[in-house]
C-alpha cells in the first residue's frame, strides 16, 4: 500500500512538470506575414510556388457558385438539415484580413472578410424528440450576411495540406427569410420549430456555419489563390 502511494505521488509530480512545459514553452512568436500588405497577387504567388495548383479559368463567373449539398447540424434545436444550395453570391466583396506563416509550427493562417455574402438554399430538416421517429419537413431560405470573417488554418507551409484545412468563422448581422415549403402539410409542431429557429437565429447560424465555412472559403481559395484538386 505504501509503495502504491509513493508511485502515485511520483506520477503526479512528473505529469505536473510535463504539463507546465507544454503550456509555457516559448513557441508562440514565430508567425510572420510573407506579404506585408496582404496583396492578392503576392499571396497567390507565395502559395503557387509551394502548392500543386492548376491554372485558373479567368472566364468563369467568380461572383457566385452553387455548392454540393451540405449536412448541417443545429444540436441546440434538436435539428439537422440537408442544405441544397441554390446559389451563393457576392463573392467579389471580399478582403484578405490576414496571411501568416509559422515555420516553427509549420502552420499557415489565412483570413478573409466577406461583405453581404448571400445564400439561397433549400432545406430538408429532420427534427428529433426523445423516443420518437424524426419528423421531416422542407424549407427555403434567403440569407445575407452583412459581415462574415472566415479564418483558415493549414499545415505544411511548403506544401500546404489544403484538404485537411480547418475553417473558423465569426459573423455579425444577418438579413434573412426562412419559410416552410408545402404549407398544405403544415402542422403546429413544425411551425413551432421554425419559430424557435427564428428566435434563436444567431445560435442556429453559429452552429450551421461549422459545416458551411469550408465550402465558402474553399471556393475563394480555389478561384483566387491556388486551384488545388
Ligand atoms: C429539444 O428537445 C428536448 C427534449 O424534448 C427539449 O427539452 C428541448 O426544449 C428541445 N429544444 C428545442 C430548442 O426545441
Ligand atoms: C450590404 O447591404 C446593405 C443592405 O442592402 C447595404 O446597406 C450595405 O451598404 C451593403 N454593404 C456593402 C459593403 O456593400
Ligand atoms: C471581421 O474582421 C474585420 C477586420 O478585422 C473587423 O473589423 C470585423 O469586426 C470582423 N467582423 C466580425 C463579424 O468578426
Domains of the chain, start order: 31-228 (3.15.10)
- Residue 180 in contact with residue 191, Cβ under 8 Å? yes
- Give distance in angstroms: CA of 170 to centre of ligand 3: 8
Output the pLDDT for position 116: 97
Residue of minimum CA distance from atom 1 in ligand 3: 149
Chain centroid offset of residue 133 CA: 30
Distance 113 CA to ligand 2 centre (A): 14
207: Cβ below 6 Å to ligand 1? no
The answer, yes or no, to whether any atom of ligand 1 lies below 6 A from the CB of 130, is yes
203 CB near ligand 1 (under 6 Å): no
Q: Whose CA is nearest to atom 10 of ligand 3?
A: 149
Using the mean position of ligand 3's atoms as its centre, give its distance from the Cα of residue 149 in Å.
6
How do the residues of the chain divide into helix, strand and coil, expressed in percent and rounded to 5? 35, 35, 30
Q: 209 or 179: which carries more pLDDT confidence?
A: 209
Mean pLDDT, rounded, for 21-32: 66
C-alpha of residue 12 to centroid of ligand 2, in Å: 57
Q: What's this model's pTM, rounded to 2 decimal places?
A: 0.84
Which ligand 1 atom is at minimum distance from the Cα of 200?
Answer: 13
What confidence score (pLDDT) does residue 60 get? 77
The pLDDT of residue 122 is 96
Q: What is the pLDDT of residue 49?
A: 92
Owner of C-alpha cell 509559422: 102
pLDDT digits (tens, 9 = 90+) for 108-160: 999 999 999 999 999 999 999 999 999 999 999 999 999 999 999 999 999 89
Query: What pLDDT is stored for residue 28 in this prediction?
Result: 59
Q: How confident is the model at residue 7 (pLDDT cuts 50, 70, 90)?
A: very low
pLDDT, tens digit, 9 for 90 and up, residues 164-177: 999 999 999 899 99
What's phi and psi for 2, nearest 5 deg? -65, -45
The whole-angstrom separation of Cα 210 and Cα 60 is: 28
- Check whether 16 has a pLDDT greater than 80: no
Distance 77 CA to ligand 1 centre (A): 7
Q: How high is the mean pLDDT of the chain?
A: 87
What CA–CA distance (Å, rounded) separates 178 from 200? 13
Q: Given a cut of 60, is residue 11 above it in pLDDT? A: no
Which of the pair, 190 or 29, is modelled with greater confidence? Answer: 190
Rg for the chain, CA atoms, rounded:
23
Mean pLDDT of 171-196: 83
Identify the residue whose C-alpha is closest to ligand 1 atom 12. 77
Are 69 and 85 contacting, i.e. CB atoms less than 8 angstroms apart? yes
> Given the CA of residue 129, which atom of ligand 1 is nearest to it?
5
Q: Which pLDDT score, from 0 to 100, does residue 62 have?
A: 83
Name the residue of 91, 114, 115, 116 whose CB sits within 8 Å of the most ligand 2 atoms, as the mutation to test its pocket.
116
Q: Ligand 3: distance of its center to the CA of 109 in Å? A: 16
Amino acid at each position: 500500500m505504501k509503495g502504491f502511494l509513493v508511485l502515485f505521488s511520483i506520477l503526479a509530480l512528473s505529469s505536473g512538470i510535463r504539463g507546465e512545459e507544454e503550456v509555457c514553452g516559448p513557441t508562440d512568436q514565430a508567425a510572420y506575414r510573407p506579404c506585408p500588405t496582404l496583396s492578392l497577387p503576392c499571396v497567390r504567388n507565395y502559395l503557387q510556388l509551394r502548392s500543386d495548383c492548376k491554372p485558373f479559368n479567368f472566364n468563369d463567373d467568380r461572383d457566385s457558385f452553387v455548392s454540393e449539398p451540405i449536412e448541417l447540424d443545429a444540436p441546440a434545436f434538436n435539428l439537422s438539415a440537408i442544405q441544397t444550395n441554390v446559389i451563393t453570391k457576392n463573392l467579389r466583396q471580399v478582403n484578405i484580413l490576414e496571411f501568416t506563416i509559422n515555420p516553427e509550427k509549420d502552420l499557415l493562417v489565412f483570413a478573409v472578410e466577406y461583405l453581404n455574402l448571400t445564400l439561397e438554399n433549400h432545406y430538408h430538416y429532420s427534427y428529433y424528440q426523445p423516443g420518437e421517429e424524426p419528423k421531416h419537413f422542407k424549407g427555403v431560405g434567403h440569407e445575407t450576411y452583412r459581415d462574415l470573417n472566415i479564418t483558415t488554418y493549414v499545415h505544411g507551409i511548403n506544401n500546404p495540406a489544403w484538404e485537411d484545412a480547418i475553417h473558423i468563422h465569426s459573423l455579425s448581422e444577418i438579413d434573412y427569410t426562412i419559410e416552410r415549403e408545402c404549407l398544405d402539410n403544415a402542422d403546429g409542431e413544425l411551425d413551432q420549430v421554425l419559430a424557435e429557429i427564428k428566435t434563436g437565429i444567431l445560435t442556429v447560424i453559429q452552429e450551421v456555419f461549422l459545416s458551411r465555412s469550408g465550402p465558402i472559403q474553399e471556393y475563394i481559395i480555389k478561384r483566387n489563390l491556388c486551384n488545388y484538386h
